[in-house]
Amino acid sequence: MDWISVSIGLSILLNILSLLMLIQSKKRNDSDTEKDVQTIQQSVEHFILKIETENDNLYQKIVHYVKTNQHGADGRIPILEEKIRLLEEKLEFEGPSDDQKGELPPHASLPSNQIQDEESVQQLFKQGFSPRQIAKVLQMEDGEVELIINLLKKRQILPR
């Protein structure tokens, strides 16, 4: 009987020890899990900070690109306005001949490439192409095509 009570006592003692070891192991795992959660949170925060920094850099690049292109357009507007003014002055200076009363001269001393551009724009416009499509096909600026169309309409070569 002594052996039985000793073996029962040892068995209880071993079970208590294994239970304590399990509890301690669980605490360590919980502690490791908390550390893992904190590590993940820190990684996510770092990632978000990195993305925000990249977004700010891209935004600054976009702003710079827009400002650069806007300056280019701002610089071309006065040039186009000057071209319009010169063309209008030429048209006013030369004036219509007796047989062209009511009509403006078709090609008032324009360079040959501009005459070809005018003829191409006129032909495509009569075929029903939009100014934007004509500009794309002829590799010209939209505003330049619209200017030519307006001048052709003014000369009564194109229907209004």
- Residue 22 token pair: 């399990």
What does the CA dihedral 113, 82, 134, 141 come to, rounded to 10 degrees? 100
> Is the pLDDT assigned to residue 115 strictly greater than 50?
yes
Over residues 6-19, the mean pLDDT reads 89
Whether the CA torsion 91, 93, 94, 98 is positive or negative: it is positive
Length of the chain: 160
Most confident of 22-36, 58-72, 124-138: 124-138
> Is the pLDDT assigned to residue 79 strictly greater than 50?
yes
Considering the domain delimited by 95-160, tell me its CATH architecture. Answer: Orthogonal Bundle (1.10)
- Give me the pLDDT at residue 107, please: 47
Q: Which of 148, 147, 155, 158 has the alpha carbon at shortest distance from 104?
A: 155
Q: Where residue 109 falls among pLDDT bands split at 50, 70, 90? A: very low
- Give me the pLDDT at residue 74, please: 67
Q: Where residue 158 falls among pLDDT bands split at 50, 70, 90? A: low
Domain boundaries, the chain: 95-160
In the predicted model, what is the mean pLDDT of the chain?
Answer: 80
Backbone angles phi, psi at 152, to 5 degrees: -65, -40
The string of pLDDT tens digits covering residues 47-56 is 999 999 999 9
In whole angstroms, what is the distance from residue 58 CA to residue 71 CA?
A: 20
> Is the pLDDT assigned to residue 104 strictly greater than 50?
no
pTM of the model: 0.32
